[in-house]
Amino acid sequence: MATMHLAGVTKGFGDRLLLDDVSLRVSEGQRLCIVGRNGVGKTTLLRIIAGEVTPDAGEVGIPRGWRVALHDQRPPRADGRTLGAYVAELLGDVEAIERRIAELEQAMAGGDHAEATMHAYAAAQAAYDQAGGYTWRVHVESVLRGLGFEDADMERELSTFSGGELTRAALARTLSANPDLLLLDEPTNHLDLKNLDWLESELADFKGAVLVVSHDRWFLEAVATGVVELGRGRARSYAMRYSAYRKERILEETQAIEAFERQQEEIQRLERFIARFGAGTRARQAKSLGKRLDKIERLDRPAREVRMAFGFPKTQKPSRDVIEARDLTLTAGDRVLFEHGSFVLERGRTMAVIGPNGAGKTTLVESLVGGRPPARGAVKLGHNVEVAYFSQHADDLPTRATVLEALSAGSDLGTSECRTLLGRFMFSGAEVEKKVEVLSGGERKRLLLARLVASGANVLVLDEPTNHLDVEACEALEAALDAYEGAILLVSHDRALIDAIADETLSIEGGTLVRRDGDYEDFLAATDGGVREKTVKKAPAAPKPARRPKTTPEMRRAKELAAEVSAKEDAIAQLEAELADASVRADHQLFAQTAKAHSQRQEELRLLMRDWEEAEAAAMRSANG
């Protein structure tokens, strides 16, 4: 089987060594995700493999004949090309190949059977097959539709598309190329939930090798068959799904800490004995133990990664209904986004706003917080409601202020309290004096989250809060929001976050708002995976389920076990959050107890999963008579 390999790849920028002796193998059919903190070199590694960046040392081996395509978020130049022409560029001049094949076939039909003609025909046919053969147009159109474009968009010039649409066009171009090695850097950016589902299906059917960088945990779990972890310049590979990798890493860290602490205890025990009996009657034994001590291969203290960890303070209790929208109509220019939309967000509930790109999700939340008036209708806030708005554009930060000043402005917290809070968001020491204008996208998001916590609000309105956050930060935010006592209105393409915290969904479909009870999985079930749309005026109750066949005891047992599995997974997730908490990790005894409880719950989950699978099989047999 053909394999792409890296051997000893090293790359630095200035005095910073980014990649240090990185080695890796990727075979045909493998789909590996590259994970690691922001700034560890994930994008640089992809560009080295694509040949766009030259390593300082090491080797990149691409099998002969393999075609490599890289998508790295850089939108195309709006230079007069149409969308169709741009997307087909990586296929080569496929239309010219078609004309050449037609000419050769006509010549052969006329009696030209010369060896040169036959060779030319075989070469043209091989190039055509490489570009997708007779189905290349169908494939290109299918990719564009899957990423949210209409057939009519094929003839539009690139200059007529928005920045997000151009990023999707760049992804369509890469996917349409039919490469042997597909390199994807944050391919889920600017995709709505329907586009994400399509992309996961497309990659599952892809026959070549894939290396993908993404912060979308749901996407990684659905797509990747293995994980490559980058950190401290090195790469480690794990032949497992993303969720299994996360559990494995926690187990590895726990075992490394335990091994180091056991060795330290043994070293200290030996040193105490030698110090006490080195010159006495047991001097010979002490000398022997000294030799044993010298031979111990000392373990390095396990590095403790600094992780973002925070929580929201207790909030003032508001009225039952915190936000009420009545008969809303929203517009964007001359376009009506939706009409007659009504809903109520209640105290302590989390509502996820769902809809395709351009449907009006951001316009809706801006209207709810008073950022823009609706065309018709009204928004009413409840008694004692304090709203904090998290904008996806991070445009309300004072760019000339320092990080510390940006947090303290408008906050009741003192300087010491601000520094403590910023430390939880990984701004420590001199970093709090950095100017906001020089912060990266991820750093701005972390600062906005710190301001959100400092606000003390009892209603959070969040527009794409996980954009630019690394996976660890996304998980920390998820844990904090899950524990938050106030109400949350959430706009996000992060399906893992929606599924973890949402109690209900508010989708923009059919020209109005549709409210449903449940999380993202329930939303998918109610809409047949997003294929079927249902228009309901005003704020409806949860749709009535379709009539189902008679429930059997086996079905009830399977449902009960499914609930137990879900509860056990929640308990494990909570323990994993505790294991990642800096205060828990600092208390060795508490950390060991938590790690032991985590292992026990994992074993309990394994047994539960076995029982559940057996019950599901029995339920299916009973349903089929």
* pLDDT one-digit tens code per residue, 190-199: 888 889 999 9
Asked if the model's pLDDT at residue 105 lies above 90, the reply is: no
| Overall average pLDDT of the 311-338 stretch | 93
Query: Contact, 474 vs 434, CB < 8 A?
Result: no
Q: Which amino acid is at 584?
A: V
CB-based contacts of 37, cutoff 8 Å, min separation 6? 231, 305, 470, 472
Q: pTM for this one?
A: 0.73
- What are the two backbone dihedrals, phi and then psi, of residue 251, each rounded to the nearest 5 degrees? -65, -45
Confidence check: pLDDT of 47 > 70: yes
Q: How far apart are CA 478 and CA 580, in angstroms?
A: 13
CA-nearest of 500, 369, 392, 388 to 445 is 392
* pLDDT, tens digit (0-9, with 9 covering 90-100), for 466-483: 888 888 889 899 999 999
* pLDDT bucket at 532, cuts 50 / 70 / 90: very low
CA distance linking residue 289 with residue 278, whole number of Å = 10
Question: In CATH, which superfamily holds the domain spanning 321-386+456-526?
Answer: P-loop containing nucleotide triphosphate hydrolases (3.40.50.300)
pLDDT surpasses 80 at 312 = yes
Distance in Å from the first CA to the final CA of the chain? 46
Q: Which whole number is the average pLDDT over 132-156?
A: 85
* Three-state SS at 458: coil
How far from chain centre, in Å, is Cα 168?
17
CA dist 519 to 184, 292, 307, 511, Å?
28, 59, 27, 22
More confident residue, 302 or 235: 235
pLDDT of residue 203 exceeding 60, the answer is yes
Position with higher pLDDT, 54 vs 106: 54
Q: How confident is the model at residue 558, as a pLDDT?
A: 74
Q: What is d(CA 354, CA 508) in angstroms, rounded to the nearest whole number?
A: 6
- pLDDT band at residue 138 under the 50/70/90 scheme: confident
Distance CA(410)–CA(391), nearest Å, equals: 17
- CA–CA–CA angle 21, 26, 31 (5° rounding): 120
Q: Quick check: 578 pLDDT over 70?
A: yes
Residue 24 scores a pLDDT above 90: yes
Q: Which of 127, 46, 140 is nearest to 86 (CA)?
A: 140
Confidence of residue 398 (pLDDT cuts 50, 70, 90): confident
| Lowest-pLDDT choice from 143-152, 502-511, 520-529 | 520-529
Cβ–Cβ < 8 Å for 398, 354:
no
The pair of structure tokens assigned to 215 is 């912060």
Whether the Cβ atoms of residue 120 and residue 107 lie closer than 8 Å to each other: no
Structure token digits, residue 482: 């899950």
Which residues neighbour 350 within 8 Å (Cβ) at sequence distance 6 or greater?
Answer: 481, 487, 488, 490, 501, 502, 503, 504
Q: In which band, very low, low, confident or very high, does the pLDDT at 537 lie, cut at 50, 70 and 90?
A: very low
Please tell me the distance from the alpha carbon of residue 58 to that of residue 60, in angstroms, as a whole number: 7
Which of 312-321, 426-435, 597-606 bottoms out in mean pLDDT, i.e. has the lowest?
A: 597-606
Report the Cα 512 to chain-centroid distance in Å. Answer: 29
User: 472 near 308, Cβ under 8 Å?
Assistant: yes
CA dist., res. 392 & res. 388, Å (int): 13
Give the pLDDT score at 447: 93
Q: Report percent pLDDT > 70 for the chain.
A: 90
The residue type found at 196 is L
CA separation for the pair 199, 193 (Å, rounded): 10
pLDDT digits (tens, 9 = 90+) for 359-386: 999 999 999 999 899 999 999 999 999 9
Which alpha helices (H) appear in 57-176, and where do they start and end? 83-87, 94-109, 115-130, 136-146, 163-176
Q: Residue 456's CB: how many other CB atoms inside 10 A?
A: 17
Q: How many CB atoms lie within 10 A of CB 460?
A: 23
Token pair listed for 182: 């597909």
Number of Cβ atoms within 10 Å of the Cβ of 169: 21
Average pLDDT over residues 127-140: 74
Q: Which helix (H) or strand (E) holds 547?
A: none
> pLDDT tier at 164 (50, 70, 90 boundaries)?
confident
Above 60 in pLDDT, residue 14?
A: yes
- What band does 576 get if pLDDT is binned at 50, 70 and 90? low
| pLDDT at 408 (0 to 100) | 92
> Could you tell me the pLDDT band of residue 571, with boundaries at 50, 70 and 90?
confident
For the residues 54-74, what does the mean pLDDT come to? 91
Distance CA 577, CA 475 (A): 8
Residue 443, pLDDT score: 87
- Asked whether residue 540 carries a pLDDT value surpassing 50, the answer given is no
Q: How many CB atoms lie within 10 A of CB 134?
A: 9
Rounded CA-CA distance 536/339 in Å is 11
Q: Where are the domains of the chain?
A: 258-295, 321-386+456-526, 553-623
Phi, psi values for residue 125, rounded to 5°: -65, -40
Q: What is the percent of the chain with per-residue pLDDT over 90, rounded to a whole number? A: 48
Question: How much is the average pLDDT of 344-350?
Answer: 96
Cβ neighbourhood burial of 108 (10 Å; 0-12, 13-18, 19+): middle
Our separate counts of H helices and E strands in the chain read 20, 18
Cβ distance 312 to 483 under 8 Å?
yes
